[in-house]
Amino acid sequence: MPPVLSVKDLSVSMNGTKGMVPVLEHLSFDVAQGKTMALVGESGCGKSMTALAIMQLLPEDFRVTSGSILLDGVEVLSASPKELRSLRGNKMSMIFQEPMTALNPLYTVGNQIGEVLRQRRGLSRRDAHAQAIQFLKAVQIPAADKRVDAYPHQLSGGMRQRVMIAMALACKPKLLIADEPTTALDVTVQAQIFDLLSELQDDTDTAIVLITHDLGAVAELADDVAVLYAGRCIEQGAADEIIAHARHPYTRGLMACVPHLQLGRAIDHLAAALDEIPGMVPPLGARGPDCAFLPRCAFASEICRAQPQPPLDRINAGAAVSCWRHQEIAPGAMA
């Protein structure tokens, strides 16, 4: 079966005061039906730009400079505005980080879900309202028949994100893009939303592109993962494989610098300094042909300095990595 979404060699640039500055370089990935692809990285690494490029909602100064985005066999990049409107909503939809600003405060949530259904599926006002209740039930909102008449400000953050998910799924899209869907929510609510997304995915077979900075979320939800750094994909492959045997020093650093909860075990937390990645992601315009991680990398050597950014090298069926020294850096040999 062909993948639902196939991104090939996608590059995005920003038209700044100093000319075109690359924001995202040569990203390729596929997402199959019912699978979840996670794009991971710190802020400024290009993960949100990827999502916006797929939706064709890039901000004014940003342009796709190369590549192709095939959604269910249709080239998104050459679609007319009319085709795009039909693709968004029918074939793909998106949920955002901040559910409050993504909902219109002047309409009830039932109105907003119903509006989508009437526009896209041509339902009558009455059927749309009934369907809206069904969707609210599907996203596990208690007392859905009452909540359908609530305004966004009357709902908690978690409820609003559920409403957003209901709206995104209302037209049974093939692809759902979730941009940091839980970052603004409380921890116990985050866990609920993750569960909800994976249950809904099991029911509907939607392909999901999950954008996150949280490797825990990746381990829980994703089938595949692409780790982005400074606009370049530096490691890509099956989520289990990457989590268990990360090869790129950046991926390993990301995992090591998060204090993981240790349960039922004594830890000497006074002695345990966290591993840290020094410095920060190079800002736009300060990215040369060298490996972008070079200045922060503990493993950097002459080989790295002498050569440009290494290609994304396929190591085995499950993983590919962009590092000159990945063979010397033994996988799994980390804390």
Partner 1 sequence: MTTIKSTAVKPDTTMLPARAATSPIAAALRQFARSPAGVAGAVVLILIILATLLGPHLYGVDPLDIAGAPLTPPDADAWLGTDYLGRDILSGLLQGGRATLAVGGVAALITIVIGVTMGSLAGFFGGPIDTALVKVTEFFQILPPLLFAMVLVTLFGQSLVVVTLAIGVVSWPSAARLTRAEFLRLRNLDFVKASRAAGGGNGHLILRVVLPNALPPIIVSATLAIGVAILFEGGLSFLGLGDPNTMSWGLMLGQNRNYVLDAWWTVTFPGAAIFIAVLAISLIGDGINDAINPRLRKRG
Partner 2 sequence: MNISASADVLLDVNDLVVHFPAGRRGMFGPPSKVHAVDGVSFRVRRGTTFGIVGESGSGKSTTAQAVMRLIPMTSGQIVFGGENIAEFRGEKLRLARSRFQIVFQDPFSALDPRRRAGDLIREPLDLLGIGSPREREVRVRQLLEEVGLPPQAANLFPHQFSGGQRQRLCIARAMAPEPDLIVCDEAVSALDVAIQAQILNLLKKLQRERGLTYIFISHDLGVIQHFCDEIAVMYLGRIVEQAPAQAFFSAPSHPYSWSLISAAAPPGPLRVRLKKDYLVKGDPPSPVDPLPGCRFVQRCPFAIARCRDELPVLNIQADEHFVACHRTGEINPPDFASL
Binding positions for partner 1, rule: CB under 8 A:
271, 273, 276, 278-280, 282-283, 286, 295
From residue 92, give the alpha-carbon distance in Å to each of 30, 80, 198, 284: 15, 16, 17, 29
Nearest to 158 by CA among 181, 132, 134, 178: 181
Q: Which is nearer to partner 1, 273 or 317 (CB)?
A: 273
Q: Are 329 and 299 in contact (CB under 8 A)?
A: yes
Residue 1 in contact with partner 2, rule: CB under 8 A: no
Q: What's the alpha-carbon Rg for the chain, to the nearest Å? A: 21
CB of 269 to partner 2, least distance (A): 6
Measured CA to CA, the distance from residue 246 to residue 30 in angstroms comes to 20
Measured CA to CA, the distance from residue 311 to residue 289 in angstroms comes to 12
CB of 60 to partner 1, least distance (A): 15
Subset of residues 6 to 45 that bind partner 2, contact rule: CB under 8 A? 42-43
Placement of tokens 């679609």 in the chain? 79
Residue 330 in contact with partner 2, rule: CB under 8 A: no
Distance of CA 244 to the CA centre of its chain: 20
Residue 104 in contact with partner 2, rule: CB under 8 A: no
3-state secondary structure of 313: strand
Residue 153 in contact with partner 2, rule: CB under 8 A: no
- Binding partner of residue 258 among partner 1, partner 2, none, CB under 5 to 8 Å per kind? partner 2
Q: Which is nearer to partner 1, 42 or 240 (CB)?
A: 42
Q: Dig out the tokens for 37 from the structure.
A: 């692809």
Q: Which stretch binds partner 2 (CB under 8 A): 171-179, 273-281, 307-315, 320-328?
A: 273-281
- Binding partner of residue 264 among partner 2, partner 1, none, CB under 5 to 8 Å per kind? partner 2
- Binding partner of residue 61 among partner 1, partner 2, none, CB under 5 to 8 Å per kind? none
Subset of residues 277 to 296 that bind partner 2, contact rule: CB under 8 A? 277-278, 280-281
Residue 334 in contact with partner 2, rule: CB under 8 A: no
CB of 101 to partner 1, least distance (A): 16
- Binding partner of residue 295 among partner 2, partner 1, none, CB under 5 to 8 Å per kind? partner 1
Nearest to 250 by CA among 268, 273, 225: 225
Which amino acid type is present at position 51? A
Q: Which is nearer to partner 1, 259 or 279 (CB)?
A: 279
Measured CA to CA, the distance from residue 65 to residue 147 in angstroms comes to 45
Question: What is the DSSP code (8-state) at residue 148?
Answer: T
- Calculate the dihedral angle through the C-alpha atoms of 145, 147, 150, 154, rounding to the nearest 10 degrees: 170
Nearest to 89 by CA among 169, 165, 164, 34: 169
Q: Which is nearer to partner 2, 12 or 221 (CB)?
A: 221
Q: Which residues bind partner 2 (CB under 8 A)?
A: 42-43, 142, 156-159, 186-192, 195, 213, 216, 219-220, 243, 253-254, 257-267, 269, 272-278, 280-281
